[in-house]
Structure 1
Amino acid sequence: MYYVLSIGVNYGPGADLLRFAEKDAIDIFRVLSGALGPPRVGGKCLLGARATRAEVIAALNALAWQPPEHLLLYFSGHGSEEGILLADGLLHYDELADYVRIIRARAMMTILDTCHAAAYGRFVSPADVAGLGGIDEDLTWLRVLSEAHPGMRMLFATSAETLSRESPNAKNGFFTAALLHAFHHAEADLPAGSPKLISDLQAFVNACAFMQGQQTKNWKRPGSGIVPLHIQQPQFLGHLGDFPLVRSQVERAVGTATITNFAFLPGLSMRVDFVVNGRRNVPTRWRVRLSHPDGSLIDDRSHRFVPAKDEHADGGQIRFPVSVLDDDLASSFVLDSGRQLPVRWTFELLDDHGHQLARRSLMGSYFKGAPMSQLGR
């Protein structure tokens, strides 16, 4: 079994209020427990006032009594060189290391998005850290997990001596935002098969590159070309490369979709109903296009959504104002001459990589001041 314990605390005693630590924990938990995550994943998300020392210790003790095969422990919030700040006080790193040590998970990943995050590594015994080793080829989720080398792997938002930061644009911590980007955009690096997987190493490398680019762009001194020295540098401890985190979406889409209804309504509008399967917590987009028969675009619109269930049903009316035809030179010329205007409607469901999940197309004809008629597919 693969278990995720995700903890986020915006405010602890004596500390400034953070904006996105609790959202960080939710976002990480949703990805790992959604369609991109491992099969049969279990977990708990402790947020805000619920993330007390007693609650976190109880959760760790429960995992010690019934250890999962693979454990991912995530924390976002305030931290120091001594520990992480929970809702009611500091959980010292030596305490955390002791509680984690008694969990006999075969392989474990710890991710800390907090100031001085890498200080935790000072309290971890070398014997507990995952060792070196390779993996066989042509493995899928469960086999990769079973082949993961015992011990702990750790990803840190920053070094033991420096601060971590939040990104107002991403509405996450900088490091967590970069990890989430990697989860959705990194190429697979674990063995071929279906589905292809992103390892801890691939996610970390991709996140570091993304984070470096974002920080350099945001913090470069105007006109000087000089980048400040306080660029946040993530770190890691332990052998990375054999612990699968999520499915990769680069080569093909995850899940499927079906358009169950696609029909004309009065005016410049359509009724569309669809079902998306196997994309829980994975961003998805619908796009509708109005075009001429030769494919030249008249207008389009799109909407991004995140299915909350394994089977997500949705639909409704999509309407364009008639003015889009008046504003299109070719369309207005045909309508003003009294002739019928053929217009193709195309509805698509897509992932963030542009992979097409489903598509339907219909041709309709329009007259100025008259209702639309269907011409055919």
Structure 2
Amino acid sequence: MAYDVERIRAGYPALADGRAWLDAGGGTQVPEAVIEAIGDAHRGGLSNLGGDHRASRRSGGIVAEARAAVADLVGAPDPAGVVFGPSSTALAYRFAEVLADGWNPGDEVVVTQLDHDANVRPWVAVARRAGAVLRMAEVDPVTGELPAERVAELIGERTRLVAVTAASNLIGTVPDLASITRRARAAGAVSFVDGVQHCPHEHVRLAELGADFYATSAYKWAGPHLAAVVAADPGALEDLHPDKLAPSPDTVPERFELGTQPFAALAGLVAAVEHLADLDDAATGTRAQRLAVSRRAVREHEDALAARLFDGLAELGGVVRHGAPRGRVTPTACFSVDGYTPAGLAGELAARGLNVSSGHSYAWELVHALGLGPAGAVRASLAHYSLRQDVDRLLAALAELTPANRPGHR
């Protein structure tokens, strides 16, 4: 098999602790190549941009390499459309302020219940200040699906922006994004897509998604804590003028980036994209070509593990999986167990060597739509380095913890 998960895992120091890391939805672990790239950047010397000396030029080269790496990862046409920031939440607020400039009372903004709150609350805030009308597309409370028509029917001639996730961070739902963005574009609206939980699991082609802006976070795909918003058309950034310091660059994309860039972390981001491109031993060619092969191999690996996880949960008495979309999903399961609070269950699993997360996962609208409330549920989420044994350990632990699955129970 070209996709050798044991080879891949050997490059991750944190995975040597013997635990089952089933919390990729909250952030992946980092391979040695990324750690070394960050260290090498510091060891080689860094300086702020704009200088004539070697360290300054080196920092500028790292920034340029990082933009090109993200463009390759998401299939963007031009690295000039890549804007960096400390987190996807910070960038969403940054873009909300600038995109809302010029909105008028009666204009409309569409958000969804499926989204992480980082792609809801910024738009709620700017819509309120502009006097715009907020419309929220509802999920199916049983399946957790977001039919494209539920979003499309809210889009009209006064719609200025549609904010929608490419994949739910809580239950893995992947909506028909192309249909949604096509309807938004036809109405003259801008689409802002949260790809934070989508990018780690899919071979992303921005043109196919139809997104005007696509957000991704490097720490969800083996990189450092950095995020980027990618404009499908860098020219769209030219007409946007965010607040900035008077002497800071007014060029695109620099005008959107506040303060000094974290150069060493950006070097780590480049190493992370290179790592993703080489996950499949059969991948050859340019970085973009290698990414296409490796990302599809990752999807096959994760799909097989996800099917085993979903089927296993369905067979356990006393375990309820929340949201079971019938279409495409990312490898994420949200569930509850009779007799346990989400935090209590996560603690029991942690004591058995299983890393999962619990709570609302910032999917604030979704946990309420599913009837879970702020306490949320337990989330198990897989990554490209996950093992079948990890899934089996989780299922065995849940069987042990639920009386309905113990031998002799009637």
TM interval, short-chain normalised: under 0.3
Normalization by structure 1: what TM-score?
Answer: 0.26
Greater strand proportion: 1
Greater helix proportion: 2
Larger C-alpha radius of gyration, 1 or 2?
1
